[in-house]
């Protein structure tokens, strides 16, 4: 049986996304893969290449959701992990190819009348060239991101 988190009866969904063939762009995907190894009750982690409308059904079943993605940086000296609270908006149009978490949450609200608590974790990224490896800069933020996720979810 899995470990308990402090969110005992709450269902948490983590969606890490990005292109794993474009260097640091795949950091969200890779972090979600790492979280799949955690053994916590009511915690599901999905690694996807992009956010698609079909995810709304899964999101509607969660109480808390964390989206993880790369954010391009220009100056490594001012880079930091960004954590944003996401609110739904009414921009449910143009959901074809590249969705963002706000659009996906709005779609979930429109179809399922569900609005989970949502966070967007943006991991500093500098290399988007063809590569399956993370840059040393982005790799440095992977463990920090995992720790922040544990803090947000109040798990040890």
Please give the residue range of the domain that contains residue 51.
Answer: 12-153
> Is 94 a domain residue?
yes
* pLDDT score, position 78: 84
pLDDT along the chain (156 residues), means of 10: 53 97 97 94 95 95 96 89 84 56 93 95 96 94 96 84
- The pLDDT assigned to 3 comes to 52
Whether 96 maps to a domain, the answer reads yes
Looking at residue 1, its pLDDT comes to: 44
Domain CATH for 145: 3.40.50.1450
**The pTM of the whole model exceeds 0.95:** no
Give the pLDDT of residue 2.
52
Whether 4 maps to a domain, the answer reads no
Question: In this predicted structure, what is the pLDDT of residue 83?
Answer: 95
- 96's CB contacts (< 8 A; 6+ apart) are none
Q: Which of 127, 131, 7 is nearest to 66 (CA)?
A: 7
**Calpha distance 75→83 (Å, rounded):** 19
> Domain count of the chain?
1
Residue 34 lies in a domain: yes
Asked whether residue 2 is domain-assigned, the answer is: no
């Amino acid at each position: 049986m899995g470990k308990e988190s402090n969110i005992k009866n709450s269902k948490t969904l983590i969606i890490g996304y990005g292109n794993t063939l474009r260097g640091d762009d795949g950091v969200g995907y890779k972090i979600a893969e790492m979280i799949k190894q955690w053994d916590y009750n009511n915690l599901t982690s999905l690694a996807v290449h992009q956010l698609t409308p079909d995810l709304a059904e899964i999101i509607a079943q969660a109480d808390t959701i964390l989206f993880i993605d790369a954010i391009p940086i220009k100056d490594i000296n001012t880079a930091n992990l960004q954590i944003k609270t996401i609110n739904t908006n009414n921009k449910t149009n143009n959901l074809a190819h590249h969705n963002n978490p706000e659009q996906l949450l709005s779609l979930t609200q429109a179809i399922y009348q569900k609005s989970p608590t949502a966070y967007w974790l943006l991991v500093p990224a500098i290399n988007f060239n063809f590569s399956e490896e993370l840059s040393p800069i982005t790799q440095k933020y992977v463990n920090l991101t995992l720790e922040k996720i544990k803090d947000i979810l109040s798990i040890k």
